[in-house]
Structure formats: C-alpha cells, structure tokens
C-alpha cells in the first residue's frame, strides 16, 4: 500500500512529494535536507502510534522535560537559587529520572516498567499544580523580564489545560516528536517568518494534515480510523554505533537513539533466531547471554564485545538485531537508514545494497538516504537483478532552489541526473 508524504517549508525543504512503497532512495549533497524526509515520516509514525496507544504518557514525559528546560531558563534569568526553586526543581527531577535496578539481567526492562507506572500515576492535575508553582515563582521574581520564558510557561500551561482535546493532543505529540528528531525550529532558520505544511496520504486519500511555524504546530485534518493502515512502527538508523553497550544510559527517552536501544533489548528474546537472508551477508553472528550481547566471527571463534567490532560490521549487526526483534519486514514496519555508506568501504556498500534490496523483496519498506554513487548504482542494479517491481523502488534527488538555503526534492527515473550531481565536485577538481 502506497503512502505519500507532501512537505513544504520544513527546515531546508521548500517542497517535497515522496512515495513510500518498498524502497525509497533519496540522494544529494550534505546539508541539503535529504535526511529531513526520513525524520519527518519517523516523527509522524511515532506520533500517530503513541497518540493511538499511550499519548497521555508521552505528553506527560515531554511536558516534564520541557518544564526542566524552563527551570534551567529560570536559573539563568534570576541568577540565584532559593529553597522554593530547589523544591520545584527536585519535584520535576524526580519524575524525569528513571529508577535504576541492580538485581538481575532484566533490570533495564524492570526499570522502564517502573518508570512508566510512575508517569501513568502522575495526574494532569498534579502537573497543573506543579506548573502553577513554577509560574508563580518565576513571575514574582524582581528579575522577571524574559519573554522567551514567559511564552514557554504560557504554552506549557495551555497544553496541560487542553490535554483532553484530541486534535490538541495530537498536535502536541507531533510537535514534541518533530522537535526531538528534526530540530528545535521546524521552519528554515534563515526564513523564520515562513509557515510550513505537511500532509500524509494513503492511496491518494489524505489521512493527516498539519501546519507549523517556528513556535506552533497545529493539526488541520486527521482521519483517526485510517491511522491503523499507516506503519505501526518506524526505526531510524542514524549511526550503527548505537548498538554499543555503553550507549544504554545516554539518551533522551523520546529520541530515535532511545528507540534503537529499546529495540536492541528486545533482540534478547528474538522473534526469529536466525535470519538467513541477513546472516549470509555478515561474517558472523550476534548472541545474547549472561546479560550481554556478543559477536562471534565463526562458531569456534572467541566471543567479542559489540563495541570492539569495526563500524562497518556494526552496520550489518544493527540490521540483524532489528530483524531478530521483528522490527524489519512486512508492510506495517518502516526502516529509515541515513547515509549507511559513511561506515562502509565501496565493496561493502555493494554488499549492503544487496541486503537492503533483499529485505525489500521480503516485504520490507525502507527509506535510504545516500550521497554515494556506489550505493545508489548498486541499489538500482540489485533491484533489477532480483526482479523488483518498478512500483516498489523510487529514486529522488535534492536540488537547490532560487530561494537561498532552500532545496526541493524531485523524483527521477534517470539516474544520470543523480550521478552528474554527485560527481561534479571531483570533475571540477580534475578539470580546474
């Protein structure tokens, strides 16, 4: 089933209309907005699903983190601490900190469960009272003159007051997800006066539409019944280094980093023990025992920690972990991979491209961004070789517009346009 996303004035993107149905490849130079499409669809999928299942939990977590940011602003504006300030800060901090458990190999899962219960037990009335304390403290202070702080407090108070409004709740969830994944300012930083719009369509039927500016995101239209036909999960791989064990305690609960880390944990009890069409591309296998992941190049080799593996190997390892956890494959899952060639020798880029096409042939939906001619050519070649239907693969490229610091994302069936753009710097160096 084809899903289309239409974007205008989001960060560097002036205009984009992108289809997601199998393999979607977006090419372009650095800093031209190609990764923004993946981040936008990831944020939408996460917002729709958390809104449908546990929106109140996510809104509470987002509010608490924003309240903590307000406390930091208050601290900077008034430049002094008082017992009242410390009391409020400690209350907010107590809800942000996750409990750490040290009893068994499942401690991280138990810790997450306890935290979720704690937040679910926190009522919006209690949040409102905490917000009121914070506002009173900030406003009565003689140094209170910061408009940024005032606006932030007013916005947070409004969210708490309107939490029962479905459209408001969805708007808030989208804003929090977009700010976490895309950036704190959704519009182009060099054109902050602009307004943007995003719409999501399913088989040409509009499912979601919202507008935004530098401060506000507002849902105009949504069809809740059709949310079930959008992806029920999305995974965004920005770097394969996230599978390192030491990352486990270093993430924001709403970020794509946190999402990867939580999914890595689910591979401890894999849905599928061995993923043949993935392991054939990797010289070795990942295992989990005694509370830790390890990697073995061969059945008789010594076990190695994931952190000791080359980043190129990790690029394949992370796909193996996600597949074992059941997060790759099927029409309901979306995988977004950002510039995988950054960690791969050209030969391994070809191997990675073949694996990606194999996953799509198995039913996976994948968005991949790249600035590597090797990767793009290989994706095209293996798609043809494996007989992938033309409707299951689409190539896009970024092109700068006449408006400064804006780009447009265009579809093409002529890959020479993409190769000409990517090879231009080398040609200029050779011929100058």
Q: 233-237 and 333-338 as β-strands: parallel, antiparallel, unpaired?
A: parallel
% of the chain beyond a pLDDT of 70? 81
Is the pLDDT higher at 262 or at 71?
Answer: 71
Confidence of residue 6 (pLDDT cuts 50, 70, 90): very high
Range of lowest pLDDT (95-109, 163-177, 199-213): 95-109
- Closest listed residue to residue 258, CA positions, set 98, 64, 48, 365: 98
- What pLDDT score was predicted for residue 7? 98
Mean pLDDT of the chain: 82
pLDDT at position 185: 85
Average pLDDT on 302-310 reads 81
Instruction: Say whether 104 sits in a helix, a strand or coil.
Output: coil
CA distance 81 to 231: 47
pLDDT at 77: 63
Residue 36: pLDDT above 70?
yes
Query: Rounded mean pLDDT of 115-123?
Result: 78
Would the pLDDT of 429 be above 80?
no
Does residue 354 or residue 145 have the better pLDDT?
A: 354
Count CB atoms within 10 A of the CB of residue 287: 11
Residue 112 predicted with pLDDT over 90:
no
pLDDT of residue 102: 38
Domain boundaries, the chain: 10-46+231-431, 49-184
Closest alpha carbon to 366 in 22, 12, 72, 4: 22
**CATH tag, 10-46+231-431:** 3.40.50.300
Higher pLDDT, 247 or 372: 372
Q: Which residue has the tokens 């190539």?
A: 395
pLDDT at 104: 40
Residue 279 contacts by C-beta under 8 Å, 6 or more apart in sequence?
285, 320
pLDDT of residue 42: 95
**Would you state the pLDDT for residue 407?**
95
Strand partners, 266: none
Q: Identify the pLDDT of residue 268.
A: 59
Q: How confident is the model at residue 9 (pLDDT cuts 50, 70, 90)?
A: very high
Confidence of residue 111 (pLDDT cuts 50, 70, 90): low
The pLDDT score that the predictor gives to residue 18 is 97
CA dihedral 22, 10, 258, 317 (to 10 degrees): 40
Q: Is 400 exposed, middle or buried (0-12, 13-18, 19+ CB in 10 A)?
A: middle
How much is the pLDDT for 393?
A: 96
Q: What is the pLDDT of residues 69-79, one digit of tens each?
A: 878 777 766 65
Alpha-carbon distance 259 to 261, whole Å? 5
Sign of CA dihedral 154, 159, 165, 170: positive
- Mean of pLDDT values over 299-308: 80
Q: What is the mean pLDDT of residues 369-395?
A: 94
**Cα–Cα dist 137/192, whole Å:** 31
pLDDT number for residue 334:
95
Return the minimum-mean-pLDDT range out of 138-152, 289-303, 342-356. Answer: 138-152
What is residue 248's predicted lDDT score, i.e. its pLDDT?
A: 46
Alpha-helix residue ranges (DSSP H) falling in 162-205: 166-181
Residue 290 is predicted with a pLDDT of 66
How far is residue 217's CA from residue 230's CA, in Å, rounded to a whole number? 21
* pLDDT mean over 365-391: 94
Beta-carbon contacts of 149 under 8 Å, excluding residues fewer than 6 positions away, are 70, 73, 74, 77, 138
What is the C-alpha radius of gyration for the chain, rounded to an integer number of angstroms?
23
Residue pair 397/412 in contact by the 8 Å Cβ criterion = yes
- Which residue pairs from 162-167 have beta carbons closer than 8 angstroms and sit at least 24 positions apart in sequence? 163/56, 163/59, 163/124, 166/224, 167/219, 167/222
Query: Would you say 230 and 207 are in contact if contact means Cβ atoms under 8 Å apart?
Result: yes
pLDDT digits (tens, 9 = 90+) for 146-189: 677 777 788 788 777 777 677 888 898 899 889 889 988 899 98
Residue 269 confidence (pLDDT) above 80: no
């Amino acid at each position: 089933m084809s899903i289309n996303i239409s974007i205008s004035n989001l960060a560097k993107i002036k205009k984009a209309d992108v289809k997601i149905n199998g393999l979607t490849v977006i090419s372009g130079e650095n800093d031209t907005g190609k990764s923004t499409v993946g981040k936008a669809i990831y944020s939408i999928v996460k917002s729709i699903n958390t809104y449908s299942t546990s929106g109140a939990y996510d809104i509470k977590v987002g509010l608490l983190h924003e309240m903590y940011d307000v406390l930091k602003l208050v601290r900077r504006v008034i430049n002094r601490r008082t017992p009242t300030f410390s009391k409020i800060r400690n209350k907010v901090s107590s809800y942000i900190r996750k409990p750490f458990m040290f009893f068994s190999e499942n401690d991280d899962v138990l810790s997450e469960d306890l935290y979720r219960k704690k937040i679910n037990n926190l009522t919006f009335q209690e949040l409102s009272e905490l917000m009121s304390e914070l506002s009173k403290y900030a406003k009565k202070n003689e140094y209170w003159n910061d408009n940024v702080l005032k606006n932030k407090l007013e916005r947070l108070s409004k969210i708490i007051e309107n939490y029962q409004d479905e459209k408001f709740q969805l708007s808030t969830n989208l804003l929090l997800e977009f700010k976490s994944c895309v950036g704190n300012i959704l519009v182009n930083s060099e054109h902050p006066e602009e307004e943007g719009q995003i719409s999501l369509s399913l088989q040409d039927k509009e499912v979601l539409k919202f507008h935004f500016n530098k401060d506000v995101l507002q849902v105009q239209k949504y069809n809740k019944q059709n949310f079930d036909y959008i992806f029920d999960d999305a995974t965004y791989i920005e770097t394969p280094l996230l599978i390192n064990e030491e990352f486990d305690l270093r993430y924001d609960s709403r970020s794509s980093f946190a999402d990867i880390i939580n999914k890595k944990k689910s591979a401890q009890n894999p849905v599928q023990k061995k993923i043949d069409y993935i392991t054939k591309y990797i010289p070795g296998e990942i295992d989990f025992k005694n509370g830790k992941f390890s990697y073995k190049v061969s059945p008789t080799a010594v076990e190695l920690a994931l952190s000791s593996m080359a980043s190129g190997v990790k690029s394949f390892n992370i796909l193996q972990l996600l597949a074992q956890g059941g997060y790759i494959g099927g029409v309901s899952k979306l995988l977004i991979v950002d510039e995988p060639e950054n960690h791969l020798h050209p030969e391994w880029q070809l191997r990675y491209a073949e694996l990606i096409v194999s996953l799509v042939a198995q039913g996976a939906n994948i968005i991949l961004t790249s600035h590597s001619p090797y990767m793009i050519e290989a994706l095209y070649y293996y798609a043809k070789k494996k007989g992938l239907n033309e409707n299951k693969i689409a190539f896009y490229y970024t092109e700068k517009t006449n408006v400064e610091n804006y780009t447009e994302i265009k579809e093409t069936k002529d890959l020479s346009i993409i190769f000409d753009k990517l090879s231009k710097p080398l040609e200029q160096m050779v011929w100058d």
